[in-house]
A and B are shown apart, each in its own frame.
Chain A
Amino acid sequence: MTAYLIKGVSLLGAEPTDLLIRDGVVAETGADLAADGATVIDAAGLVALPGLVDLHTHLREPGREDAETVESGSRAAALGGYTAVCAMANTSPVADTAGVVEQVWRLGREAGLVDVQPIGAVTVGLAGERLAELGAMADSAARVRIFSDDGHCVADPRLMRRALEYVKAFDGVIAQHAEEPRLTEGAQMHEGAVSTRLGLTGWPAVAEEAIIARDVLLAEHVGSRLHVCHVSTAGSVEVLRQAKARGVRVTAEVTPHHLLLTDVRAETYDPVYKVNPPLRTDEDVTALRAALVDGVIDIVATDHAPHAVEDKECEWAYARPGMLGLETALSIALEVLGPRWDLIAERMSRTPARIAGLESHGLDPAPGVPANLTLVDPAARRVVEPGELASLSRNTPYAGMSLPGRVVATFLRGEPTVLDGKAVK
């Protein structure tokens, strides 16, 4: 196993130091380190972060390997600075059995670019009718701890209660896609001034807020953990703030696109801006940013959702919702938060690792710690070019935008997955 000596790197924004990686762990940090046979990486001006952890990734395999595979999605993740991603269950077949989650887990191991941690479906076939075999997925080689019907809401309150209770046996967590389905039938975009003008059926904020309000009360009642996927409204932030103040065990994520973009993007009717939950208003963006800083929202999760060209190059109403995110998330965090490295590490690595129970991830580089880390050039800027992305899909909403920061290298257990800004395999 090659050793790597990273020279002059700033650990989370601190004064430059050297960092020696050997045998999969950080062996040593300090000034003027030397190591025979180690590959030297000049990291002057670069910042080292614990490898990013994405709690919400769609890898599309099995089923839509034309849009993304475990391998291509893993590569995109590594290029984005990630060392672990949690793969959502809405594949075809659905990841609702031990067999499917083990397959995804094994494909992730074979790709070897990030740790792929499968998420299991809450209900059979995401149909929202009866519980999937949650225990079997938890006991499988994939050791599933997060369960989600993402893409669909577990709308039935009794079923949601049972799911929250049941996973306590193995310290699981239910990650809810909060969307009251009766309030969003046919919904195409945020309900407001823009949807009225564009004649697109509205997705009201209350459809999200009502489910979150219900679920925090359920979680409180049964003493379970709840995680809320892709929080998108100012009202949701207030519901979460109150629940957390009462001590409810709830965590929440926000996506990069909800931190940056608003519903006016829909004016072109280009479905690259169609996403679920939809892009909201300036007021919501402001509230989400503030909540991410003050901790009411715990983490940034990408909701990376690759789609084939034909599923986006069509009429808005017929397009699938979703946006790419893995290769741009860190840049958007930098754009939104500035170079607050400790906060970025907290929101994009430590806390998501803790929620997912990934013990070897989310640890700041220090002697003895698994060498899962990423090196970022904060001074670089880049213009997003869809054709240059590693994802098999091209549905990035940031095409042509200039964003700060560039991932120079990523290490997974001491082995580089990205060097010089390029994937090593």
Chain B
Amino acid sequence: MIRHLLSGADLDAATATRILDTAAEMATVAGREVKKLPALRGRTVVNLFYEDSTRTRISFEAAAKRLSADVINFSAKGSSVAKGESLKDTALTLQAMGADAVVVRHPASGAPHRLAEWVDGSVVNAGDGTHEHPTQALLDAYTMRSRLGRLAGLSVTVVGDVLHSRVARSNVLLLSTLGAKVTLVGPPTLIPVDWATRAAAANTSGGGAAQSPDITVCYDLDAVLPTSDVVMMLRVQRERMTDSYFPSAREYARRYGLDGQRMRRLPEHAIVMHPGPMNRGMEITPEVADSARSTIVEQVTNGVSVRMAVLYLLLGGNNA
């Protein structure tokens, strides 16, 4: 088993599948009256959050607690971080306290990689800057698999601000590894120029995307909906609008938002996902978010099971 989970690229197909299978077992715990396993009793998991993210922190906290680990929440507010302590000094402090795992959320891309150099315990990336969010990709894959029965061969359309999205980066890596076909849709300003040009080169020459994941880029949402098994809507930060990535929220919603009319272009079995928190009326309408196709609430539930599986496997719970 890997020691850290920093990127979707850390997971090969066998490891990812093992995590998803373990998560399925963990999910049965949630249905019990006593939602607790003794697997990580006596182990310490630190939630080190440099960004506000109530939902991710709570999800990791619930996961660790259901495995009977001791959980320490270390948030940047009201801690030594606010006094200007460096990441390295914080890492050494956690090390001295004997953290077995550090779950880190940080606004700077790569901060978990730095942390992993300075602590002996396992580091789990809970979202770093505009880089990755691998447990989100795992819970998304888990959700797709449980709804649609498979991952290999699925057509997954990821819509929105791919450029700044750690969710998109991790999903592209993991889904490619697991054999799904990923199509990225959004205004060209919000698709990384390298992916856009490589995808274009692959379209014209039938190759050329050797170094990057096997992805397709499309700027027309309506064109790809009829062949999508999964549509994953990304959150669009309203501040992107003031930075001229697109002219207005209304134009964005018109071209790239998912409303009821668009949703009806999807195949019968297709599902709609969103990592949350949603901007209702921007990238997704309430009609879609609250529809039977929507897996948004399920994703939250599955998040706990997947994070239980990750902590359990990283901390060697299966060998205990």
Known: A199-B110, A199-B129. 7 other contacts (CB 8 A): A193-B212, A196-B195, A197-B212, A200-B109, A269-B111, A269-B114, A315-B114
Partner of A199, one of B88, B131, B194, B211: B131
Q: Is B169 an interface residue (CB 8 A)?
A: yes
Q: 24 A-B contacts, Cβ less than 8 Å apart?
A: A188-B109, A191-B193, A192-B194, A193-B198, A195-B194, A196-B212, A197-B212, A198-B131, A199-B110, A199-B130, A199-B132, A202-B193, A269-B111, A269-B114, A313-B86, A314-B86, A314-B88, A314-B114, A315-B87, A315-B110, A315-B111, A316-B108, A316-B110, A316-B114
| B87, B110, B166, B211 interface centre (most CB from chain A within 10 Å) | B110
> Chain B at the A interface: mostly helix, strand, loop or mixed?
mixed
Separation of A193 and B212 alpha carbons in the complex (Å): 7
B192 at interface, CB cutoff 8 A: yes
- Tell me, yes or no, whether A201 is within 8 Å of chain B by CB: yes
Q: Are B169 and A315 in contact (CB under 8 A)?
A: no
A250-274 interface with B by 8 A CB criterion: 268-270
| Selected contact of B109 from candidates A193, A204, A270, A316, CB within 8 Å | A316
Q: B87: which of A191, A268, A314 is its contact (CB, 8 Å)?
A: A314
- The answer to whether A200 touches B110, judged by C-beta atoms less than 8 angstroms apart, is yes
A388 within 8 A of B: no
- Using C-beta atoms within 8 Å of the partner chain, give the interface range for chain B: 20 to 34
Q: How would residues 180 to 192 of chain A score, 1 for a CB under 8 Å from any chain B CB and 0 otherwise?
A: 0000000010011
Question: Which B residues have a C-beta under 8 Å from some C-beta of A?
Answer: 86-88, 106, 108-111, 113-114, 128-132, 166, 169, 192-195, 198, 211-212
Chain B min CB distance to A206 (Å): 10
Residues of B within 8 A of A201 (CB): 130
Residues of B within 8 A of A204 (CB): 193
What is the CA–CA distance of A270 and B118 in the complex, to the nearest angstrom?
12
Chain A: residues with CB nearer than 8 A to chain B?
A: 188, 191-193, 195-202, 204, 268-270, 310, 313-318
Contact A196 B110 (CB under 8 A): no
Whether A317 contacts B113 in the complex (CB less than 8 A), given A196-B192, A199-B166, A310-B86, comes out as no
A65, chain B: closest CB distance, angstroms: 21
Known A193-B194, A193-B212; judge A199-B128 contact (CB<8 A): yes
List the B residue with the shortest CB-CB distance to A268.
B113
Q: What residue in chain A is nearest B163 (Cβ atoms)?
A: A196
Contact A196 B194 (CB under 8 A): yes
Chain A residues with CB below 8 A from B169, complex form: 197, 199
B168 to chain A, nearest CB (A): 10
**Interchain nearest-CB distance for A418 vs B (Å):** 35
Residues of B within 8 A of A191 (CB): 193-194
In the complex, what residues of B have CB within 8 A of residue A195's CB? 194
Tell me the smallest distance from the CB of B117 to a CB of chain A, in Å: 8
State whether A199 and B109 are in contact (beta carbons under 8 Å apart), knowing that A193-B212, A269-B114 are contacts in the complex: yes
- Which residues of chain A come closer than 8 Å to B108, judged between CB atoms? 315-318
Chain A residues in 8 Å Cβ range of B194: 191-193, 195-196
Please indicate the chain A residues that have their CB under 8 angstroms from the CB of B111 in the complex.
269, 315
Give the CA-CA distance A270 to B115 in the complex, in Å.
11
State the CA gap A192–B109 with chains docked (Å). Answer: 16
- B contact residues around A316 at 8 Å (CB): 108-110, 114
Please report the C-alpha to C-alpha distance between residue A201 and residue B129 in the assembled complex, in whole angstroms.
Answer: 10
* A321 smallest CB distance to B (angstroms): 15
Whether A269 and B110, one on each chain, are in contact in the complex, defined by CB atoms closer than 8 angstroms, is yes
Min CB gap A274→B, angstroms = 11
Which residues of B are found within 8 Å of A268, using beta-carbon distances?
A: 113
Minimum CB–CB distance for A283 against chain B, Å: 13
Known: A191-B193, A198-B131, A199-B166. A315 touches B211 (CB 8 A): no
B166: chain A residues at CB < 8 Å are 199
CA distance A191 to B130 in the complex (A): 14
A271 → B minimal CB distance (Å): 9
A318 cross-chain contacts in B, Cβ below 8 A: 108
Whole-angstrom CA separation of A310 from B89 in the bound complex:
11
Q: In the complex, A43 Cα to B98 Cα: how many Å?
A: 58
> Contact: A317 with B109, CB < 8 Å?
yes
Given contacts A199-B129, A199-B130, contact A313 B193 (CB under 8 A): no
Cβ of A349 to closest chain B Cβ, rounded Å: 39
- Closest A-chain residue to B211, C-beta based? A193
Would you give the shortest CB distance from B158 to chain A, in whole angstroms?
14
Q: Which residue of A lies closest to B198 (CB)?
A: A193
8 closest A-B pairs by beta carbon, nearest first, are A199-B131, A269-B110, A315-B108, A196-B192, A199-B109, A199-B130, A317-B108, A269-B113
Q: Tell me which residues across on chain A come within 8 A of B130, comparing CB atoms.
A: 199-201
| B88 and A313 contact, CB distance less than 8 A | yes
B131 contact set on A, CB distance < 8 A: 198-200
Query: Which of B109, B130, B166, B192 has the largest number of chain A CB atoms within 10 A?
Result: B109
Q: For the complex, give the distance between the alpha carbons of A204 and B114 in Å.
A: 25
| Across-interface contacts of B110 in A (CB, < 8 A) | 198-200, 269, 315-317
Complex Cα gap A200–B130 (Å): 7
Q: In the complex the two chains form, what is the Cα distance from A197 to B166 in whole Å?
A: 10
Q: Hey, which chain B residues are within 8 Å of A198, CB to CB?
A: 109-110, 131
The complex places the Cα of A145 from the Cα of B175 at a distance, in Å, of 58
